Structure 1
Amino acid sequence: MNSRLVGFFIWRALCGALALAVATRSSYAHPVSISRALVYVRPDEITAEIEVFLEDLYLFHTLRTDSRDYLSATEIGRGIQLHRQFIAERFQILDIDGRPLVSKLDSTTWQPPASGVPLAELMDHQLTFSLRFDLDEAPEFLTFVQKFTDGGAVLPSEMTLHVQQEQQPESEPVALRPHEPYILRLRWDGPPLSMGDGREQQVAWLVKAKQETLGISSYSSTYSFLYVENRQVRHEILIPLQTLLLDLPIEHEHRDFLSPEEQRGAAAVVGDYFAKGLPVRINGATVEAKFEKCDFFGLATKDFARDANDRDVSLANGRVGVILSYRCPAFPETVSMSWNRFTESMWAVDVVILAGDRIEKRTLSRVGNRQQLEWESPLPHRVVPFSPLRANDLPQSLSLSWTAILGFDIAILIWLVGWRILRPRLTKSPSTPAVFAAAVVALVVGWFAHSRIWQSDPISTAEAAQIFAPLHRNVYRAFECPTDGEVYDALALCVDGELLEHVYRQIHQSLDMQDQGGAIAHVTSVDVSDGTVQQTVHARSEPSFYYVCQWDVAGNIEHWGHLHERRQRYVASFRLNVINGYWRITHWDVLDEQPLGTTVTVREFSR
């Protein structure tokens, strides 16, 4: 056989292999299962129709063919019964707590041809399986999961999901991949928007929806909030539990839930995972992350306000909230962060930077080397200079009292007795002791008359308020200073040295919310009311007075992009003294304290 003939046969063999590969790819290029779910949601019931190809029954249940490569009607009937149970178990709708709703199977109406169906035509036939889920109340959240194939299958199953809520506009279909939950929030409290609604109605509807969800519009996205605060940067990450599990396995006994004990055991591991994967530099220096807390949440908005890690959390729709803080000695003028915690399903993350009233959003991505965030304060941090409160001379007036009159009477009596005793001697020759005694008596009487007859007027309530208000306000303002040293210096202009340490600890503890993951409250207002002067101490050189008043403090604490404004009411007794010509608070005793409530708003930022 010559070389040309050999080459011809080799060429024919290669062509045949290529043709077979193309034919095989054309026949099986689709996923192992393609299906469609049509779901209709009412307040008391959910109905679902699952459309599948006949090929699913053959592949999932290994149905047997006859000698003609046909599936007989009997074998198809057996496959239908098996697939009804398969769908009931592997197509799940979960409630707000991640627990599967109980489904009821309706009959399948499709009847196979009596002669059966050849394997080559399995994709030409579709079957519809109907499910019904009874509800005790209108659901706020629903989670949809299909588990037709394993998550790591080479050819994963694909489902197109259509969800229609009663009396709501038609929604867009979504692609549901195996074991990847789709979370939907439903509203039942008002009619849907229509094209005829005006701009005001549309804005009001959107604002209400945003407030109800605290600005969290996607339950499969990761949220990152970077708070630039005085002397610290706080980083809060809210990530779906399913996303986190792709990169950080967490041991759990139950297939679908994390128990409270497992959550508490995993908290430190999750915190360390993010602390090491999100390095931060502040003002050019690397700052070590301090792990504050890790909470596991459900879907309900109220979960953010409750004690976390106290009940089971679903692996399908649970969320993990992690808080890290980075303390620094001065206000952060520059911040840089590297995001090294992308997963298979998280290729990008939006980081919202909140610095005072300024809000920015940056997108970090594992694609294109965009994992680094650089932020610089647009304006230097400035604190309005503090000035001590100078004591003005208090008005003087004549104030005769029985004490003063009695003092004069005693002084005159002393002079009369002394004169009778000393007179015989004085007529001869005045002695030095006599002159000295007379001078001492004169000084005593003069001092007594000056201090007891001419004295300061009592300080009025209006004058006391003018003295107290700026001192008290500056105590809170002092904590806006960028360093501890400057805080102490500012407090020293308002508070006497012996009281300074006590006031620093008391105010600092009220602002540093350790139970809120290290958040530092920002005081927005201090309103003093109902002040009264209890006592004025009459000292012409260094007067003082006791003052009792009530005041309300409003402070902001921010978490997960929403703002908590808390108001607290205090009643306390103070003493104010003039020290070296300036007023100082020398006594501070809290008599009563009570909360006035909390309001929650959502931050707005330009996209």
Structure 2
Amino acid sequence: MPNQILSLKWCSAIVALGLAAAVEGRAQDTIQIGPLKPLQTLPSLGPAIPPTSVLPKSGLPGGLVPPAGQPPAAAASPQLPGAAPSAGMVPPPTITSGSTLTPGATLGAGGTLTTPPTLTPGAALTPPVNLTPGSTVMPGSAALPGSALTPPPTLTPGSTLAPASPLTPASVPTPPPATSASAPAAPPPLPTSSSVVITGPIAQTYLYIEPYQTRFEALFDAASVLAWLSPDVPLPESLTPEQQKQISEKVAAQAGDWCSLSTGDQALAVPQPLVTVIKGLPGNTLPMKEGETLALNQALVGLMWEFATPPGPDELNVTWKGWFKGISKLPVRVFFGPQTETGEIHAAIKNYRWRNLGRMTRPAPLVAVPQITRPAPVRVPMGGIVWVLGGLVFYIYLKIKDHKLPGGSLPYFAVWLLGGVLMSQLLIVPYHPKSATPTVTQVAEAQQIVSPLLRNVYRAFDHHVESDVYDVLARSVDGELLRKLYLETIQALTLDGREGTRVTIAEFAVTVDKVEKNPQGPGFVADCNWNARGIVGHWGHSHPRVNIYNARVTITPVKDEWKLTGLEVQEVRRL
């Protein structure tokens, strides 16, 4: 019985040794095992192999990648040398009693234990291992190249050994990507910004309702307009300045009656449309340089009609007749004051109606022109003076001729005095004594005169008919300055570019810094600065405009009113 137990233990030791040798054959050529104690089992040598460990490929043909579908444990199970792939493990050879295993012993072909001639670099040398009866070697005990083996810990009888850690497959380096042959350079895209690329047909209209003017704008993509103008001509990739001019002229010649406007039942005169080629998208137009060639997929054609309307219309009716192929409705966005609303014009109805409903108030009246304060006229009773003088002349005549008054002199004097009182109320002539023009020397006094005059100048340009603008300007400006101021203010309030849209002033403030007497006549000269802030909307978006002026103005009396007769702008800043 003891011999059978001893034989079984020896067989277990040999099997474990065979497994270790098989794994070592894959990972390393040698193995070192520490001293074994009787009736004890050995744990795996050292800690578990880190997952990131990489083994040399010299002992792992093809790498350690397990076959597809096979679990890692099965893939890592070693086979003894000489065993058939399908036969599994073969019984270990028998080792006679007294055999000694040296460190790094491996199992060779035929079951013969051999000792390799070299040791693994960095492995610690330990004494030979003597297998005593009952000793067992843990399968899978293997050393990595360059690692030092330490003696295994001492285990008490009955301890359970954990299975050896599986080996991590070697990392396969990824080959560098192949360099593809250089493709021919593609032509650069036409647009300079992808945010303004037109990808399809565009049709959009805007209705701007302002005091004394209503403006209707329509935007179409240039490709649709060109297809409508010349359906048999291929579309160009870009539009030169000459082509842009030709498009504007052709469209303006045919679009004169496309838009009409009426206030209630009263039809308004239809102006000539302004047509221009625009860069961008509705609500996102971009400025263009003079002579710029525009890509077709960035080009819009804009049409604008400006109608003179009452300051606060109750109702507006827009009629549209310019329909392109494929367009059955036009979106309309209405701007009035700080408010906005949307609508549509359908091809079947061709009309859009906007109602005020009290949402847009009339503009405030003009500020009163400052008056010159003069002393009150003297009331001269010319009728009483003539009556008294006539009575005196008649009395002197009687005395000279020595005539007697019938009834005495007393009734005569009574009638004379009564007639003088009555005649004094019948003919009164006012007399204005000659007085000098009031002298303005204080900044506060000049501020009260200059501020309303300049404010009325800007309010005059709320009107869009030239004659109306001149009429309002003439209330505050006089002389040669009237024409000059009209032209300069028109230029200052007109938006840069080819649209010709005018800024509507919403805020105005003026400050007088210095006052002095006018060296060329009556009145005064004031150094002042003012700022005018306004907003102009066109093509679906708005532009704020703030102008700051530093100027020297001359104010003179004209028919008992203060008027602006001189303006010398010293500095202009546009924000």
TM-score, structure 2 as length reference: 0.49
More helix by proportion, 1 or 2?
1
More strand by proportion, 1 or 2?
1
